């Protein structure tokens, strides 16, 4: 009787972001990808690989003996090649014509396996007196480049020359062979401007409702009695389409950054955009320009990358725009993005956790609004430890007046169809923050920056307070007001306002422009 074997990599984020060194993170990411790659740990499995991406794999074997033999060899191989990486494995036998039902049940088996898994309890530290400088685990060796630094076996594997070479070549493929550019290996080389804006952007993009759609499709296959061959072809089709969504989004992000790199009159490479004063210099290494971007995770409908904080929101928008597409049997696929803009050298794990929470918050708002498009949410700065998004917004972006309770943010935002689509990200970025006649970055407001600083405090007085300030400013200087806000004094429903969202981004957000000049 044929058997399905399911593999689910556990604690991916904890493993990838265990180190705060970018080189280690990239190497760990490659090992996660290798663990469920057809040409990686699944190579020579002896079975038929039905799905393999995003830390999840499903294989089919002719009988249970071969499935369990593969599981034995596979887990041993992981122990040798990717120490510290844990997986859950489950088997489900099925009869001819029952592949769809078996795949449906296998998801439950994997969930149960993860819940019932008994974590190993090794005698860590027995007879070992040194701790790893990176993870705190018992050290099993020293850094090859610095024999005085003890490291755990997991970190030593990350720093293996072959692993780093494979990890580097994986992402270099997205440069399309252009030898002028390279991805940085250190945070300090990611466009960081010392003494000025030194922010790191962590962008997490995830597909909307993909797991639910796959479960619904499997249920339909069961109800309609689809043959095993039809199910296999269907899985291959939508799995390939989802993988292409992530790859397409990453290619678009890389191409957008490359298109925005220019040389100034002195021959220095810079990243430029629609706001010239926010342009910044790029670093070079071995005659290659280091892009202010570093892909970290890519699998199926899941994409995570690091970048200079000034371009994080622009790149998130780019990824969401091209991520949208049709997947066979699943329909139109969209995504949400969470963007954490944090001080440089904030621990990666905390920054990623914030970006993931923001992405989930955007997904939740999307469901509440019954919307079928893409949404984006962001936060600037590191929240308090253990503080959720709702608690953060209630503490920092709410204010009670004598008349009402104000919400000083409209986040998360729909991506929107364009700058004329109100209460969307594109409207906020191009209209409210635009360089046109009424935008906060326009020529009129540029002469009254002090008024913008005052506005950040005036919004706490509600629509009436904003109206009083506007009347005073209009009498003094006839300052324009962004469209869709002029009749509401900056507040929607008299409670919510996007003004603080825009003002926080005023000196940080750099919209990239392929036609910009320095």
The DSSP string of 148-190 is EEEE-HHHHHHT-HHHHHHHHHHHHGGGTT-TTEE--SSGGGS
In 3D space, the residue among 249, 238, 235 whose CA is nearest the CA of residue 297 turns out to be 249
Predicted confidence (pLDDT) at residue 203 exceeds the cutoff of 90: yes
Within 8 A by CB and 6+ apart from 61, the residues are: 2, 3, 4, 5, 46, 47, 48, 67, 70
Residue 190, pLDDT score: 82
Residue 436, pLDDT score: 83
Predicted confidence (pLDDT) at residue 247 exceeds the cutoff of 90: yes
Residue 476, pLDDT score: 59
**282: its two tokens:** 């790029």
The percent of residues above 90 in pLDDT, for the chain, comes to: 63
How would residue 294 be classed by pLDDT, with cut points 50, 70 and 90?
very high
User: In whole angstroms, what is the distance from residue 376 CA to residue 368 CA?
Assistant: 15
The pTM of this model reads 0.93
Predicted confidence (pLDDT) at residue 50 exceeds the cutoff of 70: yes
User: Helix axis angle, 228-259 relative to 210-224, nearest 10°?
Assistant: 160
**Average pLDDT score over the chain:** 89
389 class by beta-carbon count within 10 Å (0-12 exposed, 13-18 middle, 19+ buried) = buried
User: In whole angstroms, what is the distance from residue 276 CA to residue 266 CA?
Assistant: 17
Distances (CA, A) of 119 to 85, 138, 179: 12, 18, 46
Residue 76, pLDDT score: 95
Domain spans, the chain: 3-116, 189-388, 405-505
Distances (CA, A) of 344 to 22, 190, 277, 503: 12, 10, 21, 21
How would residue 516 be classed by pLDDT, with cut points 50, 70 and 90?
very low
User: In whole angstroms, what is the distance from residue 142 CA to residue 162 CA?
Assistant: 17
* Residue 319: strand, helix, or coil: helix
How large is the average pLDDT for residues 175-179? 88
- Report the CATH fold assignment for 3-116: Alpha-Beta Plaits (3.30.70)
Residue 485, pLDDT score: 82
Contact indicator for 55, 37 with CB cutoff of 8 Å = no
**198: its two tokens:** 């030194």
Instruction: Provide φ and ψ at 497, rounded to 5°.
Output: -140, 140
How would residue 133 be classed by pLDDT, with cut points 50, 70 and 90?
confident
Distances (CA, A) of 18 to 323, 363, 380, 471: 28, 26, 23, 54
Q: When comparing pLDDT for 172 and 400, which is higher?
A: 172
How would residue 345 be classed by pLDDT, with cut points 50, 70 and 90?
confident
How would residue 300 be classed by pLDDT, with cut points 50, 70 and 90?
confident
User: In whole angstroms, what is the distance from residue 396 CA to residue 205 CA?
Assistant: 25
Q: When comparing pLDDT for 404 and 26, which is higher?
A: 26
The percent of residues above 70 in pLDDT, for the chain, comes to: 95
How would residue 32 be classed by pLDDT, with cut points 50, 70 and 90?
very high
Residue 131: CB atoms within 10 A of its CB come to 15
* Common-topology check for domains 3-116 and 189-388: yes
How large is the average pLDDT for residues 165-174? 93
Query: In CATH, what number does 189-388 get?
Result: 3.30.70.270
CA of residue 461 relative to chain centroid, distance: 35
As a three-state string, the secondary structure of 282-306 is CCEECCEEECCEEEEEEECCEEEEE
- Name the pairing type of β-strands 146-151 and 141-143: antiparallel
Residue 213, pLDDT score: 93
User: In whole angstroms, what is the distance from residue 91 CA to residue 410 CA?
Assistant: 46
Long-range contacts: 391-400, Cβ < 8 Å, 24+? 397/500, 399/460
* Residue 146: strand, helix, or coil: strand
Which tens digits make up the pLDDT trace of 381-420?
988 888 889 999 999 899 887 678 899 999 999 999 888 8
Predicted confidence (pLDDT) at residue 125 exceeds the cutoff of 60: yes
How would residue 468 be classed by pLDDT, with cut points 50, 70 and 90?
confident
CA dihedral sign of residues 447, 449, 450, 454 = positive
How large is the average pLDDT for residues 408-436? 92
- Name the pairing type of β-strands 3-10 and 181-182: unpaired
Residue 265, pLDDT score: 82
Residue 518, pLDDT score: 37
Omega prior to 430 cis, within 30 of 0: no
Predicted confidence (pLDDT) at residue 127 exceeds the cutoff of 80: no
Name the β-bridge partners of 270. Answer: 262, 281
Residue 277, pLDDT score: 86
Predicted confidence (pLDDT) at residue 129 exceeds the cutoff of 90: no
Predicted confidence (pLDDT) at residue 126 exceeds the cutoff of 70: no
Contact indicator for 202, 351 with CB cutoff of 8 Å = yes
Contact indicator for 287, 189 with CB cutoff of 8 Å = no
Residue 4, pLDDT score: 96
How large is the average pLDDT for residues 343-348? 87
Predicted confidence (pLDDT) at residue 196 exceeds the cutoff of 60: no
User: Helix axis angle, 99-116 relative to 228-259, nearest 10°?
Assistant: 60
Predicted confidence (pLDDT) at residue 46 exceeds the cutoff of 50: yes
User: In whole angstroms, what is the distance from residue 86 CA to residue 75 CA?
Assistant: 9
Name the β-bridge partners of 143. Answer: 146
Predicted confidence (pLDDT) at residue 260 exceeds the cutoff of 60: yes
């Amino acid at each position: 009787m044929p058997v399905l074997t399911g593999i689910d990599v556990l604690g991916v984020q904890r493993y990838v972001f265990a180190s705060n060194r970018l080189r280690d993170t990239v190497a760990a990411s490659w090992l996660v990808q290798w663990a469920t790659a057809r040409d990686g740990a699944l190579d020579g499995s002896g079975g038929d690989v039905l799905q393999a991406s995003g830390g999840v794999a499903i294989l089919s074997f002719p009988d249970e003996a071969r499935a369990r033999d593969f599981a034995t060899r596979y887990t041993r191989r992981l122990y040798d090649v990717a120490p510290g990486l844990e997986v859950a494995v489950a088997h489900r036998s099925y009869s001819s014509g029952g592949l769809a039902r078996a795949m449906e049940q296998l998801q439950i088996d994997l969930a149960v396996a993860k819940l019932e898994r008994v974590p190993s309890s090794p005698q860590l530290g027995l007879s070992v007196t040194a701790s790893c400088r990176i993870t705190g685990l018992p050290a099993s060796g020293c850094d090859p480049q610095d024999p005085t630094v003890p490291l755990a076996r997991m970190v030593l594997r990350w720093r293996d020359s072959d692993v780093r070479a494979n990890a580097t070549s994986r992402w270099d493929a997205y440069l399309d062979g252009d030898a002028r550019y390279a991805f940085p290996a250190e945070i300090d080389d990611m466009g960081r401007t010392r003494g000025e804006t030194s922010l790191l952007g962590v962008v997490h993009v995830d597909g909307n409702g993909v797991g639910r759609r796959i479960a619904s499709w499997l249920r339909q296959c069961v109800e309609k009695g689809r043959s095993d061959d039809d199910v296999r072809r269907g899985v291959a089709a939508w799995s390939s389409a989802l993988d292409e969504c992530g790859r397409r989004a990453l290619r678009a992000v890389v191409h957008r950054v490359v298109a925005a790199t220019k040389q100034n009159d002195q021959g220095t490479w810079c990243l430029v955009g629609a706001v010239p004063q926010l342009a910044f210099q790029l670093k070079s290494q071995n005659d290659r320009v280091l892009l202010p971007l570093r892909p970290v995770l890519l699998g199926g409908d899941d994409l995570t990358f690091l970048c200079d904080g000034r371009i994080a929101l622009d790149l998130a928008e780019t990824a969401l725009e091209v991520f949208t597409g049709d997947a066979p049997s699943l329909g139109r696929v969209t995504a949400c993005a969470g963007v954490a803009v944090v001080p440089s050298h904030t621990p990666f794990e905390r920054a990623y956790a914030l970006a993931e929470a923001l992405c989930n918050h955007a997904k939740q708002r999307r469901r509440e609004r019954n919307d079928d498009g893409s949404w984006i949410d962001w936060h600037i700065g590191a929240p308090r430890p253990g503080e959720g998004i709702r608690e953060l917004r209630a503490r920092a972006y709410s204010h009670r007046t004598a008349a009402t309770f104000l919400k000083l943010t409209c986040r998360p935002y729909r991506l929107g169809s364009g700058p004329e689509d109100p209460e969307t990200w594109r409207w906020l970025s191009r209209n409210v923050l635009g360089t046109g006649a009424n935008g906060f970055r326009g020529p009129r407001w540029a002469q009254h920056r002090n008024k913008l600083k005052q506005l950040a405090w005036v919004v706490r007085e509600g629509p009436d307070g904003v109206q009083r300030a506007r009347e005073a400013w209009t009498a003094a200087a006839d300052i324009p007001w962004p469209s869709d806000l002029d009749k509401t004094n900056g507040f929607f429903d008299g409670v919510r306002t996007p003004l603080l969202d825009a003002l926080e981004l005023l000196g940080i957000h750099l919209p990239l422009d392929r036609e910009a000049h320095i």
